[in-house]
């Protein structure tokens, strides 16, 4: 199911329940990152920043680059489905995947606007680990943690 030769990041399997959301102003997503984030206080979707101590809402299906400078001008589907599996990059310094991590929680890791997973942190517990790249430590397969999804006071 989670073959190492699969090149795609983002949603890979499971449910794909989604809702259109307006994006916050000037949100930036850099390849190979995945559009994980939350709804901000003004009702717009924002990508996670490292160490935000924020909830997770879902994953927007948005192109790489910088969005409009106007709140809500860009609208993208946000996948919020608990049964969805996402493939996210593991960046240098964000831990080494081990098979013993299956079922553990981890946080979002962000470096240079590339959104992935941080296997060394579980303060916010955004994701539940399902699988990962044992050979090269390039990616992990995760699902949204329903116990903190949409919660405003995580950690």
Query: Tell me, what's the pLDDT at 121?
Result: 87
Q: Are 6 and 85 in contact (CB under 8 A)?
A: no
Q: State the total domains in the chain.
A: 1
- Does residue 99 register a pLDDT over 70? yes
Model confidence pLDDT, tens digit, residues 41-70: 899 999 987 656 678 899 999 999 999 999
Separation of alpha carbons 88 and 78, rounded Å:
16
Q: How confident is the model at residue 136 (pLDDT cuts 50, 70, 90)?
A: very high
* 123 inside domain: yes
CATH number for the domain that contains residue 96: 2.40.300
* Closest-CA residue to 109 (of 122, 94, 97): 94
Phi, psi at residue 153, to the nearest 5°?
-120, 75
* 108 inside domain: yes
Separation of alpha carbons 30 and 32, rounded Å:
6
Q: Are 29 and 64 in contact (CB under 8 A)?
A: yes
* 50 inside domain: yes
* 3 inside domain: no
Domain of residue 77, residue span: 10-144
Query: Tell me, what's the pLDDT at 154?
Result: 42
Quick one: average pLDDT of 81-98?
94
* 49 inside domain: yes
């Amino acid at each position: 199911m989670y073959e190492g030769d699969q090149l795609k990041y983002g949603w890979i399997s499971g449910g794909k329940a989604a809702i259109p959301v307006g994006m916050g102003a000037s949100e930036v997503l850099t390849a190979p990152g995945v559009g994980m984030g939350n709804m901000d206080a003004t009702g717009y979707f924002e990508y996670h920043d490292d160490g935000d101590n924020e909830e997770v809402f879902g994953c927007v299906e948005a192109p790489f680059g910088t969005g409009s400078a106007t709140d809500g001008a860009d609208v993208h589907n946000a996948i919020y489905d608990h049964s969805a599996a996402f493939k996210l990059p593991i960046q240098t310094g964000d831990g080494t995947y081990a098979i013993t991590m299956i079922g553990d929680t981890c946080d979002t890791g962000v470096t240079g606007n590339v959104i992935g997973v941080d296997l060394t942190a579980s303060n916010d517990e955004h994701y539940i680990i399902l699988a990962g790249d044992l050979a090269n430590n390039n990616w992990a397969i995760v699902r949204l943690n329903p116990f903190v999804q949409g919660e405003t006071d995580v950690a």
